[in-house]
Amino acid sequence: MNLVDLQSFLKRMANLRGLAGPILIVMILAMMVLPLPPFLLDILFTFNIAIAVMVLLVSMNTTKALDFAAFPTILLITTLLRLSLNVASTRVVLLEGHTGPDAAGKVIESFGHFLVGGNYAVGIVVFAILVVINFVVITKGAGRIAEVGARFTLDAMPGKQMAIDADLNAGLIGEDVARTRRAEIAQEADFYGAMDGASKFVRGDAIAGIIILLINIVGGLIVGVLQHNLDIAVAAKNYTLLTIGDGLVAQIPALVISTAAGLVVSRVATNENVGQQLVSQLLKQPQVIMLTGAIIAMMGMIPGMPHFAFIMLGGGMAVLAYYLSQKTEREEAQQKAEVVPLAMTEAADASWEDVAQVDMLGMEVGYRLITLVDKAQDGDLLRRIKGIRKKFTQDMGFLPPAVHIRDNLELRPNGYRITLKGVEVGSGESYPNLLLAINPGSVSGQLPGNVTRDPAFGLPAIWIDAELRDQAQVMGYTVVDPSTVVATHLSHIINTQASMLLGRQEVQQLLDHLGKSAPKLTEDLVPKTLQLGTVQKVLQNLLDEGMHIRDMRTIVETLAENATRTQDPFQLTSLVRVALGPAIVQQFYPSAQELQVIGMDQELEYILIQAMQSSQEGVGIEPGLADTVLRETRAAAKVQEQLGLPTVLLVPAQLRDLLARFLKRAVPQLRVISHDEIPDFKTIRVTATVGGRS
């Protein structure tokens, strides 16, 4: 067979994998109808036990429930397999049970003699105990957990969807990642719903095991005494031992499968499997182990107690506690040593190399947050920052400077601060082992934890343990991880400080980039017609009022057309805004034909125009009039927000620049547009009015 034939054969085999499920189901159903020889029963019973052990080990080595999403289906298939084997073995037991204890195969014989010592009374008791453990304890508990998990997962879906949308809007994730996470949330709900139903199969299997046991015992007595003329004692012994062996062979794998189901639905999703969770969390506090060992040793000293067992176990726990405490101290010392800066070498003569440039955009973190930026420790903050810069570039129209990250031992261990041109513009704290539950204003309860505020937007928030994530989402909290807290804060600052990030170098790069596709448009603009600084100021003015500069073609065309009439950047900005009017309106009213805006009283407009014309500089407002405008604007903006409408103030063109600069700090959520910026195909409706007298 050559290589091509081998590849073709492997491809055909891969295509046949899809038939594995249907073939297995057909074989299981066939076992209920077709008679099976004892040798084949031995193989199938052994296979059943192997499958149960395999499922248990897989469930213990998963880190989250969806890693074993096929478990509900496997639960149904294994249940059908056990029931079909019960039917097949019952047929053999009743037909051949009079011939001896190995009539139904060696596996049933071993379970009937070796495990219960050949005593059918003991066998019945052991079988009953196994059924009680499986039915009353494990299956009932796992079913209840699956039911509650399904309910909580469905209740938490809106909060999780909001968290995904928030990450997507902040640029922390892309469309593909968001689509994957939404699909994972839906799969999680489907999984717990399926587990809630699948647990009924296991309960039904336990009940069927009891009924099959009674039927086999009674049927065996009837067949042995009436058909094969056996003594009642001999018939009872033969058929009961065979039935007990058959029941134990089925119930032990059922118990293993039920245990696996309980492990899958009861574990909390972390980056560790069940074994790692048990070791890391049970052995996390050496003092608890030491105290337990002392109590056990003291109990061993009580007269009448087994001294050797208690004292030996207590001593072993004390030794383990000592070893763990020493290991913890070494790890803490090593962690501190890693963040201690290297000793400074002997200083050399000063040179121009010692002149350090101030970072345009920087971030400093405390030593406990180093894990967020260290790829070796699974830190994903650097990846998130890359996503923020990419989304900002796509939204605003220019590439922001890189974020330089360094550690700062002068900060609090969990603190961070964001700097712009070396000046702090934002700070906060983040806890790597906790989650931040943000209150959007409609939560249904309180959570235990450290009360704080979201550093980006100032919303009330609580730092909670990771185990409370689902509970917090059900209550309506938006739950984010520590990296998202820092990344969202950085994204908010970059967007609000966009005009400060646009330097002359970035403006020149924008013009060069535009020149590649429209060389005639830019070749005569700078520096022949306008200075680069003037173009920069116009673009900064647009960014300062929340506008993007993606449409550089329109901006440059407008500047080139009007540069011969004025060189004033504020007048040029007004002309550019008129050219960008449709884009400005669409930003505030994405799909509305009617623009519901805040208007201004005509008398107040006239007073403001007269005041501006009489001012020496053309930009001054008398203090009393300024207070009136400010008070009335705040009241109108509040009315607009209560109506759920954009806070947009519509004014005449000659007042727009004056009011935009005047109201920017006092009413930061307000946007001011002029009549000239509104396209002719849009209609206007005034829903609130700024009115007053000087």
Q: Residue 343: which pLDDT band, with cuts at 50, 70 and 90?
A: very low
605 CB-contact burial (10 Å; exposed 0-12 / middle 13-18 / buried 19+): middle
**pLDDT tens digit sequence for 224-240:** 777 777 777 777 677 77
- Distance between CA 594 and CA 606 in Å, rounded? 26
Share of the chain above pLDDT 70, in %: 85
Residue 76: CB atoms within 10 A of its CB come to 16
CA distance 421 to 500: 9
Mean pLDDT score across all residues of the chain: 80
Task: Return d(Cα 468, Cα 519) in angstroms, integer.
Answer: 58
Residue 360 · residue 421 · CB < 8 Å: yes
Q: How far apart are CA 494 and CA 218, in angstroms?
A: 80
Q: Is the pLDDT of residue 134 over 50?
A: yes
* pLDDT value for 666: 85
Q: What average pLDDT does range 574-581 have in this prediction?
A: 93
Q: What is the mean pLDDT of residues 649-653?
A: 93
Q: Which residue has the tokens 């906060």?
A: 428
Alpha-carbon gap, residue 365 to 430, rounded angstroms: 10
Of 654, 558, 540, 562, which is closest to residue 606 (Cα–Cα)?
654
Q: Which CATH number fits domain 358-496: 3.40.50.11740, 3.30.365.10, 3.30.470.20, 3.40.30.60?
A: 3.40.30.60
Average pLDDT over residues 44-54: 83
667-692: pLDDT as tens digits: 888 999 999 999 988 999 999 999 75
More confident residue, 186 or 405: 405
Please give the residue that has the higher pLDDT: either 104 or 439: 439
Asked whether residue 210 carries a pLDDT value surpassing 80, the answer given is: no
Alpha carbons 450 and 436: distance in angstroms, whole number = 9
Domain ranges of the chain: 16-276, 283-334, 358-496, 502-579, 590-694
pLDDT digits (tens, 9 = 90+) for 312-325: 887 888 888 788 78
Residue 203's contacts (CB-CB under 8 Å, 6 or more residues apart) are 135, 139, 140, 143
Band (pLDDT 50/70/90 cuts) for residue 342 is very low
CATH superfamily membership of 590-694: FHIPEP family, domain 4 (3.40.50.12790)
Joined together, the tokens standing for residue 481 give 């991880």
416 DSSP β-pair partners: 365, 428
Parallel, antiparallel, or unpaired for β 434-438 and 478-480? antiparallel
399 in Cβ contact with 444 (< 8 Å): no
Q: What share of the chain is helix, strand, coil (3-state, %, to 5)?
A: 65, 10, 25
Q: DSSP class of residue 344?
A: P
* Residue pair 318/294 in contact by the 8 Å Cβ criterion: yes
d(CA 460, CA 441): 8
**Residue 8 scores a pLDDT above 70:** no
Q: Residue 418 has what pLDDT?
A: 95
Instruction: Give the pLDDT band (50/70/90) at residue 269.
Output: low
Extract the tokens encoding 437.
Answer: 């539950």
Q: Report the sign of the C-alpha dihedral through residues 269, 272, 277, 283, in that order.
A: negative
CA R_g for the chain: 38
The mean per-residue pLDDT over the stretch 401-407 comes to: 90
The per-residue pLDDT for 538 is 94
Q: Between helices 307-339 and 286-300, what is the axis angle to 10°?
A: 170
CA-CA distance, 657 to 48, in Å (whole number)? 80
3-state secondary structure at position 461: strand
User: Tens of pLDDT along 485-524?
Assistant: 999 999 999 999 999 999 999 999 999 888 888 888 888 7
The residues facing 460 across adjacent strands are 453
pLDDT exceeds cutoff 60 at 355? yes
pTM higher than 0.85: no
The answer to whether residues 232 and 100 touch, using CB atoms and an 8 Å cutoff, is: no
Of the spans 216-220, 481-485, 590-594, which averages the highest pLDDT? 481-485
What's the confidence (pLDDT) of residue 16? 58
What pLDDT score was predicted for residue 577? 94
Structure tokens given for 271: 């980056």
Classify domain 502-579 by CATH architecture.
Orthogonal Bundle (1.10)
Q: Tens digit of pLDDT for each residue in 148-191?
A: 766 777 777 777 777 777 677 666 677 777 788 888 877 777 77
CA distance 14 to 18: 8
